[in-house]
Amino acid sequence: MQRRNFLQTLAVTAGISEPVFSKNKPTLKPPRLKAGDTVALVCPAAPAYNRQEVKIVEESMLALGFKVKYGKRMWERYGYLAGKDADRAADLNELFADPSVQGIVCVHGGWGCARLLPLLDYETIRRNPKVILGYSDVTALLLGIYSQTGLVTFHGPVGSATWNEFTVNYLRKVLMEGQAVLCENPKVIGDNLTQIADRIDSITTGTARGRLLGGNLTVLSHLLGSPYVPDWKGALFFCEDVDEAPYRMDRMITQVKLCGILEEVNGFIFGKCTECDPGNGSYGSLTLEDVWSDHVRPANKPAFAGAMIGHIKQKFTIPVGIEAEMNAETGTIRLLESAVL
């Protein structure tokens, strides 16, 4: 009760409705993005440390055919945050309410998005559905907004990502063309006898269907128990991470398992864990393969690792809340419907 009263106090102070623990809301799809639309650039977590980086983001959006608008607090800074929580939340609330803005692209992650969740105006967001895109710490916004409104959000490149052909191709297909796309790793052998990079590790073979739900494992594991996570039952759970030692990955997957999520979901998809090897001096460390064997395989659900999801240069755009089918042998994810209107 103390925790619930605390959330009520925050909600009243912010002038918004109290977040509720509930089943998933009816799916709300945003309008697709098209050339000439305006996308807003925001920093909901870490600040914009240099103007050249933001200028590159702007030029990338222009190259995609969009007009660009900056959030009002783009250049603010409060320690390791891009301004105070109320100001960063106000940026998001204002941009969702702004009819001239059709999409919101987070410049980067860092830490701080979860601090905004009690301060967002979910009713305004529900009334003004639009694309919001990002990954890493932005996971908190993607899951929080989806759980509270039913709005499909998008786990994909942040503005400061590498906008290469692979990444742009998936973004165009999902956000602009509305395709029920097949997400499939690149198959490049190069000057080798077999494929080396971007291989699929089939943990438990089989196919499964369900709503795609997930994001950065560190961020989502710290949201568990709050109102800002969805109902995982029947979902395809996807996750990724960066710079986490195997024991920390073990700890977070254990937490996910203890919450019953691995039993509730229909399938498990892991992307990349960049710089997550045991490293020098880690005698006796488990590997990620050991972690999957200990925790994921006993759930006996279709599961694979190695998808192009994560802190990597080439990445899929994955809609949070859309029905999809996974194939754990081929390592593919097929959307079963358009993610946008």
**Is residue 215 within 8 Å of 230, Cβ to Cβ?**
no
Return phi, psi of residue 173, to 5°: -65, -40
Residue 56: helix, strand or coil by DSSP?
helix
What was the pLDDT predicted at 49?
84
Give me the residue spans of the domains in the chain: 17-167, 182-335
Q: Rounded distance, CA 53 to CA 214, Å? A: 28
Predicted pLDDT at 21: 61
Q: In this structure, are residues 36 and 65 in contact, taking their beta carbons and an 8 Å threshold?
A: yes
CATH class of 17-167: alpha beta
Q: What confidence score (pLDDT) does residue 208 get?
A: 98
pLDDT along the chain (341 residues), means of 10: 48 55 83 98 93 94 97 92 97 98 96 98 98 98 98 96 95 98 95 94 98 98 97 98 94 97 98 84 81 97 98 97 98 98 98
CA-to-CA distance for 7 and 19, rounded, in angstroms?
A: 8
pLDDT of residue 22: 52
DSSP state for residue 268 in the 8-state scheme: E
User: What integer pLDDT is reported at residue 4 of this predicted model?
Assistant: 47
182-335 is classed CATH 3.30.590.10: no
CA 133 to chain centre: 8
Q: How does 117-153 read in b/e, with b if 16+ C-beta sit within 10 Å?
A: bbbbbbeebbebbbbbbbbbbbbbbbbbbbbbbbbbb
Element at 59 (helix H, strand E): helix 51-63
List the catalytic residues. Answer: 136, 240, 311
Three-state SS for 189? Answer: coil
- The pLDDT of residue 18 is 66
Predicted confidence at residue 73, as pLDDT, reads 87
Instruction: Name the 3-class secondary structure at 319.
Output: strand
Check residue 143 and report its DSSP letter. H
Give CA–CA dist 37/160, Å, rounded: 19
DSSP letter assigned to residue 329: T
